[in-house]
Amino acid sequence: MRLSAPVYHLKRQARLLSRKENVPLHEALDRMAFKEGFGSWSLLAAKAAEAAPAGRLLAQLIPGDMVLVAARPGQGKSLMSLELAVAAMKQGSRAVFFTLEYMHADILDRFRDIGVDPAVFDHLFEFDNSDAISATYIVEALGSAPRGTLAVIDYLQLLDQKREDPELMVQIRALRSFARERGLVLVFISQVDRSYDASRKPFPDLDDVRLPNPLDLSLFDKMCFLNKGEIRFQSA
């Protein structure tokens, strides 16, 4: 059964409904599930997890890959990346979420948005929101990570925001070499430029990736573009 909107949109609508009608969130979630043809929110979440595109994308990745997940704000790129991390952990791999945007509580909420109990993966998941995040920091943090570890970097355009950090191109080349040497998968969340016009093409592409600083996007092996609940994968 196809949902009328992505799970994170339905969850957002349930939160609004909960506040508007002053009902418990679990009741609002179940009401959203009923509208989608499910007996409860837990059933909807389980079905969505089975059909999640993250598993399909993970199946296409190999150790050493660099992945770009790009979209305009509010299109679910952070959730998609987290779903990819969850898919990796379900296979027994470690996952690390580096972010310059979120607090730990925010990520725990995002786990719940996709119907996942974060406690299940407590031994495999690591969260890092240090202000020092850069290529050098990531290499040091993942220095002992086992082969197959998947790391999400949130987000690409912030890596060189500090003057003392190397240029973005230098950092991405260093991370590419490191990923290949250690057999890691690095997933970069990326912004899409405001000039992208969804009425002219259904998905953004490499030409729409926001690049305030020069970067050779061919350094990435796989790309994932999102728009209006739909996802497009492509290889470099």
Q: How confident is the model over 105-142, as pLDDT tens digits?
A: 999 988 887 778 889 998 999 999 999 999 999 999 99
Q: How confident is the model at residue 51 (pLDDT cuts 50, 70, 90)?
A: low
Closest CA to 110 of 84, 79, 74: 79
pLDDT of amino acid 141: 98
pLDDT tens-digit series, residues 61-96: 999 999 999 999 988 899 899 999 999 999 999 999
**SS (HEC) of 24-91:** CHHHHHHHHHHHCCCCCHHHHHHHHHHCCHHHHHHHCCCCCCEEEEEECCCCCHHHHHHHHHHHHHHC
% residues pLDDT > 70 (the chain): 98
Q: Note the maximum CA span of the chain.
A: 54
* 8 against 19, higher pLDDT: 19
pLDDT of amino acid 49: 65
CB 6 within 8 A of CB 229: yes
Amino acid at 164: E
235 has a pLDDT exceeding 90: no
Please provide the average confidence, as pLDDT, over all residues in the chain.
Answer: 91
pLDDT of amino acid 1: 58
pLDDT of amino acid 170: 97
Residue 102: cis peptide before it, omega within 30 degrees of 0: no
Burial state string for 145-166 with b = 16 or more CB within 10 A and e = fewer than 16: beebbbbbbbbbbbbbeeeebe
pLDDT of amino acid 224: 94
% residues pLDDT > 90 (the chain): 66
pLDDT of amino acid 52: 66
Q: How confident is the model at residue 207 (pLDDT cuts 50, 70, 90)?
A: very high
* 22 against 163, higher pLDDT: 22
Q: Range with the lowest mean pLDDT among 70-74, 149-153, 174-178?
A: 70-74
